[in-house]
Structure 1
């Protein structure tokens, strides 16, 4: 786990969301703005960027009493109070390309102001209203759908250049090149938005790339998401465009005040390039013989090129707010496998998202082919889950010696790659990891190696599916922004990475798609294949209410609540109308508790919990969150309206689905978890509901029984009702279905299904099977908040909640998070008969602490440690034998393991059948479970094994 140091004199720094940790006492930290800088430089997408700063101090309990902000060398603006996160821009708005240096200094209760921070330069990365004049260009008379190409022009630079700024976008994907040099290190830009409603442009400082005299501006482009064919198998079609197009506007400002623009449009020249074909699903095919050296440099003879075709753009682009997609890591080959069919497969040791870079030699015309897959099935590439996605790249060699090739406009989800056609040294193949380049902000570790690997799998699944937008999976013919997946995963994501700009940008598309669908949130955003109007679905459309609230809760972002309030209200109004006079959303299409483990492979919505129950619970949840958002924004009448709606739905839910004794009409894990975690049930009923939930988990052998809806909240529901030990058994279960079963099967990402791969190494027979889906990884939020004990008690972590829940069988657990106020940490460890709880509270915050022994206290900033008695695990009061109740056996992990070892020695198939289908209830004994299935000799062996467990001490 990454470690932070908190110390030094009182200083402050402007920050982009979160500070860079320092490893020694420091006077200042590197200052960066809170507004995401999409290009990675000084540009901001708004004239009035909000400002944040963190303070480093060795003064305990430090609280800011005021601050001063200064722009350039002007007079400081004095602010009173503790606010230091997303503080409104207090200066005159920035003009396009205008630069300003900003500093901050703070004062606290410990005396006068500290030192000024280092200056932060911010520049307006936007254009004035009506200033976008570039026309989109593409290939005239393309010979194929989605044909990639090159575009170029030359221009003169006459005079001393003060600055040069490139604004560029594409309906597709592009890279701009100035005088032979790529303008940045981004890939797959500008990413995928709802192109028909919103496009974005990059803003790049290219001053250093200009030369006096003749310059050349070139653009490589392909179709990417814009020309992809979407839809269910057999019904795919294009949606946004048949051909890619690009637009660029280079603004050159001279020292003497002159301004010149270079615009795409008439006069540009275009040509097919070495990329013959490219698609997100199918892969990329390159012919290196078609390279044209110097095409992106001055003096190139483009007489053989065609005049560009000028095409209308769907919309005027806006500045991009989401972090750029970049190459973030490289991984080498860890194993070379010869498959049963004789193929050569390279194993990179990690299921990742990106592509391969290959160094290769071969004759002209030889073709190197790369096929990708996430898993092997019986020794061969497991490609069936890809469905119609070929996930295949190929390169025709030029035969000019050593050649280096990396596909540019596609990506794949893979751990394994098969190379064929040309012999390649495995050491010359590198896996290049690609995703949105967000700042890492959260870490977790514990003494259980499988849980640590589970958490690492969550991180890798986030990285793979946060590529331009939050997708469901990165490998098959889908890769869509499913709303239900991010609705459940947003809290986990917001801890692990600074997702504020990324998700706020996606929410803009959600609101636009929703506006054109009469308030209904589509299943996916962007929503490319709407043959019929979008249908509402609970837990999917509710992303309109849940995700903005998560961004407020974790980042104190009031603006996203304001921007999305109309969207949240529109969605809530839709589902309240569907609930009708009964205030129950019933009888409609629903995904329900998607991929509950009892659902058959071909019917993933056939869950144990009623879909109507799930739907009505989410009507309550969205009305409740809409009311809360309105309250934060000061819309009192709106708050009152939706709070009343929420109470009506709660009353109807309890009357319809909860008995007075605390039983749910759907007697399933998700039903109880919803009633508890959403606060649908009153306090006097929650304990009974929690007891029954714990009983169900025990009956099912401490195996998970939830799908997309119940999985993120079941451990919370158990913990809140006093069943943390049950949550612990559920969490550390390794039998199928469980969080750790995939880990025992070698998973390095989170699977879509609990059993995406069966124990015999066969891929689940369902047609929808992914090995990189983050939804079930939403349990990591509970690992952070409860197991380690680090959570926000007030928005943005202004007040922290430190409340660890130590679990039996673990010796320590800890979490760290870069809050908007600075690094915070919470954790615990066992020390003999004591528990030691430790916490780091950032300056300008406080923490509410609840220790495992029940003590509650409030502390200020600094490092803290407490000790309390460690509770000894409860020891069984009765011996373990054949006459033991089944609950006695299942509650004893050691005895349970001994039982199945003995049963498997008799009949492995019988052991698996008993494991999968037994209800572990108190009114049935081990003897009765065995019945006539086991001969007397084997029965005696099992009894002996159980007795030995008892003599050694069980548990």
Structure 2
């Protein structure tokens, strides 16, 4: 799987698949007495070829080989067309990036070998594509080709779990559009039966922390209900007798390896933000699809996880043992005990919601009380009266705000610490895997929408746009995977297709476009539409194919300050629509009680709120945009 494929076409047996073929020389398989595992039906969508890509360029190298640029970092393989003498050997070598001298950048593969070898049988045009491997690549080196290849010689075959596309998003800003495309390509390339971390090096594991922070983004982009339901089953299969969820699922020997390895055996038996996927992902699926079955089926396993966290805490503070932390943050190490206690509180809070959704009233009250107690312990241990939080990283403030750990009198102070940190860094982020998905929501919910837009469109390092400025077509594993000053990062961990930092996609749908699920009526049976225009964007158009049908939002800001907001609500649903600005009109008319299809709920600072039924609505208002000039 990770070492490529070698195929000798000379060994093909002509007619082996036709009646009458003499197979008497074939060896018979061993017949075993039985199988003691559980045979279950396949739950998740199959992996399929979903797209074919024609290269955009081919270049001859000094050594006589040819390097193809597919124009897109992709996952799959290449189909080869060749005509040549019997016994000619062709090699296809795959890489995500090029070195400065134009050769393939292979250092980040570690021991993986992204090469396929094909030996021609001769006698006319032959076509070959591998069957037992896949690669992560944008560039392909064609070695030993007999003749002069062209752009039709190779075709890229894109593969992934065939989860139906449900989301689309387009804005007035080309770089923001590229960011969204990179997010979706990263999801496609890493959703292969399990949500893998990367598709190219010798890892390709289902890391739980990566999956949970990206789950909401993934759910907007594609229908991942079956995909993640299967993955949660993998997590529960791996759950330890103690109740701890593992870092990787399926385990694939990871737990044994990390305890044996002299480099990794000091890592904790559980990891904050990783094990919590066992609670976060089921809750996300419930929000997005409204199905209580995943909560009912896995309630016991989720409860054991929270019990484990409580039993292995000291006065509700999680221990300061080594774990992954806010993985790959930039010059901002979040203290382990702060991060772990925050996630302990969050899983407990979600368990209260889950118990409530299932009608388990006593459990709900117990989890609500425990969450309150953890929050108070968190504040006693880590929060000062001036609003500072131990570690003083962007992530500690973001998690405290988004998880609801702070009393009202400290929220504004903590928010000010967060925004000061961002401004002191030149309007740049420092969050890693666990903080990045909550960063822009925390700012937006706290009235700092302008700061959120500054971070979204920041082009200096570190930022989402920095990689795009340098040609990225997927989300990188690291903010500093490649920089102008230092070139490539440490090759042992430097994937250029790694979806975790793309969890900003959730904010793009929920806040920028304004399509939000209502926890009280999950699965979009009631839709919350609340777009938040800002920054340098003048138009956003997004849609989400819910179980009830398409939900669409399009807003556009005219130069004179008029906001146009077009909304589509699917049949058999209702929606709460927040229209920014003043002087709101519907279809060009003043809104009055005589319009039966709409009810005005309230006027809020900065806008009005309406409850509507299914249908299409065209609102206009006078809106002062929130600017975010960097």
Does the CA contact (< 8 Å) of 1:590 and 1:615 recur in 2? no
Cα distance per residue 1:404-451 (max 9 Å; x no partner): 110011100000011112234431210000111111000111111100
Partner of 2:607: 854
Provide the C-alpha distance between the structure 2 equivalents of 1:289 and 1:847, rounded to a whole number of angstroms: 64
Counterpart selection for 1:390 from 113, 134, 137: 113
TM-score (norm 1): 0.60
Structure 2 counterparts to residues 190-269 of structure 1, below 5 A: none
Structure 2 counterparts to residues 886-925 of structure 1, below 5 A: 893=630
Provide the C-alpha distance between the structure 2 equivalents of 1:313 and 1:472, rounded to a whole number of angstroms: 31
Provide the C-alpha distance between the structure 1 equivalents of 2:565 and 2:384, rounded to a whole number of angstroms: 40
Superposed displacement of residue 740, structure 1: 0.6
Provide the C-alpha distance between the structure 1 equivalents of 2:309 and 2:625, rounded to a whole number of angstroms: 48
Q: Does 1:567 align with 2:301?
A: yes
Q: Does 1:660 align with 2:385?
A: yes
Structure 2 counterparts to residues 620-639 of structure 1, below 5 A: 620-639=345-364
Cα distance per residue 1:105-145 (max 9 Å; x no partner): xxxxxxxxxxxxxxxxxxxxxxxxxxxxxxxxxxxxxxxxx
Partner of 1:518: 242
Does the CA contact (< 8 Å) of 2:107 and 2:491 recur in 1? no
Counterpart selection for 1:535 from 269, 276, 301: 269
Structure number with bigger Rg: 1
Partner of 1:802: 529
Structure with greater proportional helix content: 2
Partner of 2:143: 420
Provide the C-alpha distance between the structure 1 equivalents of 2:450 and 2:115, rounded to a whole number of angstroms: 47
Partner of 2:616: 863
Provide the C-alpha distance between the structure 1 equivalents of 2:516 and 2:63, rounded to a whole number of angstroms: 52
Partner of 1:595: 328
Q: Which runs of 5+ in 1 are unaligned?
A: 1-279, 599-606, 875-890, 894-955
Partner of 1:353: 75
Cα distance per residue 1:714-748 (max 9 Å; x no partner): 10111111110011111100011001101001000
Partner of 1:447: 172
Provide the C-alpha distance between the structure 1 equivalents of 2:215 and 2:36, rounded to a whole number of angstroms: 30
Does the CA contact (< 8 Å) of 1:340 and 1:380 recur in 2? no
- In structure 2, relative to structure 1, the CA distance for the partners of 1:630 and 1:666 (3 Å cut) is same
Q: Which runs of 5+ in 2 are unaligned?
A: 260-267, 581-605
Partner of 2:130: 407
Superposed displacement of residue 518, structure 1: 3.1
Provide the C-alpha distance between the structure 1 equivalents of 2:380 and 2:570, rounded to a whole number of angstroms: 45
Does the CA contact (< 8 Å) of 2:167 and 2:545 recur in 1? yes
Q: Does 1:320 align with 2:42?
A: yes
Does the CA contact (< 8 Å) of 1:658 and 1:665 recur in 2? yes
Provide the C-alpha distance between the structure 2 equivalents of 1:517 and 1:385, rounded to a whole number of angstroms: 36
Does the CA contact (< 8 Å) of 2:450 and 2:626 recur in 1? no
- In structure 2, relative to structure 1, the CA distance for the partners of 1:830 and 1:475 (3 Å cut) is same
SS in 1 for 2:200: coil
Provide the C-alpha distance between the structure 2 equivalents of 1:873 and 1:385, rounded to a whole number of angstroms: 41
Provide the C-alpha distance between the structure 2 equivalents of 1:867 and 1:739, rounded to a whole number of angstroms: 32
Cα distance per residue 1:35-87 (max 9 Å; x no partner): xxxxxxxxxxxxxxxxxxxxxxxxxxxxxxxxxxxxxxxxxxxxxxxxxxxxx
Cα distance per residue 1:576-597 (max 9 Å; x no partner): 11213x1000222211110001
- In structure 2, relative to structure 1, the CA distance for the partners of 1:595 and 1:798 (3 Å cut) is same
Superposed displacement of residue 608, structure 1: 2.6
Provide the C-alpha distance between the structure 2 equivalents of 1:892 and 1:396, rounded to a whole number of angstroms: 57
Partner of 1:107: none
Superposed displacement of residue 283, structure 1: 0.7
Partner of 1:841: 569
Larger displacement relative to structure 2 (792-801 or 411-420): 792-801
Structure 2 counterparts to residues 73-88 of structure 1, below 5 A: none
TM-score (norm 2): 0.91
Higher relative contact order (CA 8 A, sep 6+): 2
Q: Does 1:371 align with 2:97?
A: no
Does the CA contact (< 8 Å) of 2:564 and 2:620 recur in 1? yes
Does the CA contact (< 8 Å) of 2:535 and 2:629 recur in 1? no
Superposed displacement of residue 635, structure 1: 2.0
Provide the C-alpha distance between the structure 2 equivalents of 1:570 and 1:596, rounded to a whole number of angstroms: 30
SS in 1 for 2:58: strand
SS in 2 for 1:588: coil
